[in-house]
Structure 1
């Protein structure tokens, strides 16, 4: 795809179920990768509920036309950001059928003037429908990261997400267990509200990497609501370090999968 010619890797961040903290994870992962020295973009592909404008304090940003068929993206905290939320009013609902929504996403990607990027993080809507399939078929995805909570109902949908990407031959870069445990803001007591190790066990079951576990903590929510994500607001916090560890593991996994593909190609030629 010519529109993505400047981008080395495209990573989809997905969840089979809404409400698991996928967008929060995608934004903090993008910023953590930026802090590691990479050139990063984030695409808010959650057509029905774009949240990145609020999370990145970009609610007032409006793309500007560049030439006849291109538009600008936002720049904030050292990353490039694009969202359908920049185009439609925040209080308006995107009442679109699947094919129309998928077409809008494709147009958003094609018409954005992307700079040279090492990684484009794509925050997908929850589920396994038209938008996910369109993205998988029309965009050269490097791989997908699945976000889940340890709760059984979320894990069931996470498995559906893994199966969908595998069916369309998109590599699974790993699984992240969000809201793995709750940390009390007063006494720092740790409690597993939604179960223990569900994400890790699912990763083992499907033989995909387990990238890490993130807590349920008021500090994360407050940072996102303020438009200054935690890895920016408090980069030295324990939770911010967890995001950077996940970012590093993601980079390693991409390199590992690419090296494996090269080895297979060499073997096939022989």
Structure 2
């Protein structure tokens, strides 16, 4: 990387183009080297350009991310429920729950443009800039056995790590497309699973992902409060509309266990509300994660619960391993979606090792085979 920082070198100029310039003093220069079509500033000499959303006409054809066999998204309807922490630990849990005869290859992609958390959670906050391949694709940064990519790696160096991304919708959408299709996940071999940490809510990023990428399943994270469950329901409805199958719901901060008396306390509301919501939505509960200090403390220093060995975090590790096994079962047995065009109904069928789970919804998908 020393060569990349040499004054006036070609590589240095490329690196400057990649950086996301967001401070006021750089507004004018950033407008010269960036555009709505290329917000990350990646040199455009790629033989196979990424798919883009058409301005008119029908929806684009979904495709697989090159170098990725399966995609699982972690989403939430509301911010602050621990979605990014869950995504990081889920990626790590897949390393130990895979049934493959070899070590699995897992990746973690941060699509939260305005609030990227993966660099800090994975201990890569000061890892430096991603390198470029010969065909100008970003090389993922690696830690804890996981390949990762985030817009946080491309922000200008800042001792306080507080550089904001101040972009309008079109720039955000193009940045999402570049993070999806301009990252080299193929070296040395393709990923088995890419876990995508989504931004909260039901906005443009979720819609673009649903229109552009074949997603194998989604995990919806929520906390017990009614206000969080309301937004979680909206998230489920949104994924139904964009034809992304939902693997299940995961309750975070379910309870706190007193160290003195070992009594669990549901600080943020009864988990029964969450269970009723899951029944109403026809979805399974993947697990209930406790509220413990080891999770937040570990995230602050780049040591997720799955790589810790503390006794306090054992319950979290066990739950995340169960979630990882549920995803492995779904991935290996397959997820099928069928449509009844006349009634605009969608049938989701997940055939696992234990049972066949089916759910019908009357919500017509925004991307429908008949359109």
State the match for 1:63 in structure 2.
130
State the match for 1:268 in structure 2.
none
Using the TM superposition, give the Cα deviation of residue 254 of structure 1 relative to its aligned residue in structure 2, in angstroms. Answer: 3.5
Q: Which SS does the other structure have where 1:72 is aligned?
A: coil
State the match for 1:125 in structure 2.
199
State the match for 2:243 in structure 1.
169
Using the TM superposition, give the Cα deviation of residue 261 of structure 1 relative to its aligned residue in structure 2, in angstroms. Answer: 7.5
Equivalent residue runs for 1:144-155 within 5 Å: 144-155=218-229
Aligned-partner Cα distance in 2 for 1:257–1:229 = 29
Q: Which has the higher contact order (CA 8 A, sep 6+)?
A: 1
Aligned-partner Cα distance in 2 for 1:88–1:243 = 31
* TM-score of the superposed pair, with normalisation by structure 1: 0.91
State the match for 2:114 in structure 1.
48
Aligned-partner Cα distance in 1 for 2:281–2:331 = 18
State the match for 2:164 in structure 1.
93
> Per-residue displacement from partner, 1:172-224 (whole Å, max 9, x unpaired)?
11110101111235554310012222222211111112111101111111111
Question: CA contact under 8 A between 1:3 and 1:109: conserved in structure 2?
Answer: no
- Shift in alpha-carbon separation, 1:28–1:261, aligned structure 2, 3 A: closer
From 315, 319, 322, give the equivalent of 1:245: 322
Q: Which SS does the other structure have where 2:201 is aligned?
A: coil
State the match for 2:363 in structure 1.
none
Q: Which has the higher helix share?
A: 1
Question: CA contact under 8 A between 1:180 and 1:213: conserved in structure 2?
Answer: yes
State the match for 1:35 in structure 2.
96
Residues 1:110 and 2:176 aligned together: no
Question: CA contact under 8 A between 2:97 and 2:328: conserved in structure 1?
Answer: no
Q: Which SS does the other structure have where 2:73 is aligned?
A: strand
Using the TM superposition, give the Cα deviation of residue 69 of structure 1 relative to its aligned residue in structure 2, in angstroms. Answer: 2.4
Q: Which SS does the other structure have where 1:113 is aligned?
A: coil
Structure 1, unmatched stretches of 5+, are 264-270
Q: Which SS does the other structure have where 2:113 is aligned?
A: coil
- Shift in alpha-carbon separation, 1:3–1:248, aligned structure 2, 3 A: closer
Using the TM superposition, give the Cα deviation of residue 153 of structure 1 relative to its aligned residue in structure 2, in angstroms. Answer: 0.1
Larger Rg: 2
Aligned-partner Cα distance in 2 for 1:200–1:97 = 38
Question: CA contact under 8 A between 1:181 and 1:190: conserved in structure 2?
Answer: yes
State the match for 1:266 in structure 2.
none
Aligned-partner Cα distance in 2 for 1:10–1:179 = 25
Structure 2, unmatched stretches of 5+, are 1-50, 52-62, 99-103, 337-348, 357-371
Aligned-partner Cα distance in 2 for 1:69–1:5 = 15
* TM-score of the superposed pair, with normalisation by structure 2: 0.67
Using the TM superposition, give the Cα deviation of residue 65 of structure 1 relative to its aligned residue in structure 2, in angstroms. Answer: 1.1
Residues 1:220 and 2:281 aligned together: no
Question: CA contact under 8 A between 1:144 and 1:170: conserved in structure 2?
Answer: yes
Question: CA contact under 8 A between 1:3 and 1:112: conserved in structure 2?
Answer: no
Question: CA contact under 8 A between 1:98 and 1:129: conserved in structure 2?
Answer: no
Q: Which SS does the other structure have where 2:70 is aligned?
A: strand
Figure out how many residues of one structure are paired with residues of the other and give that number.
Answer: 263
- Shift in alpha-carbon separation, 1:250–1:198, aligned structure 2, 3 A: farther
Q: Which runs of 4+ in 1 moved over 6 A?
A: none
Aligned-partner Cα distance in 1 for 2:116–2:235 = 20
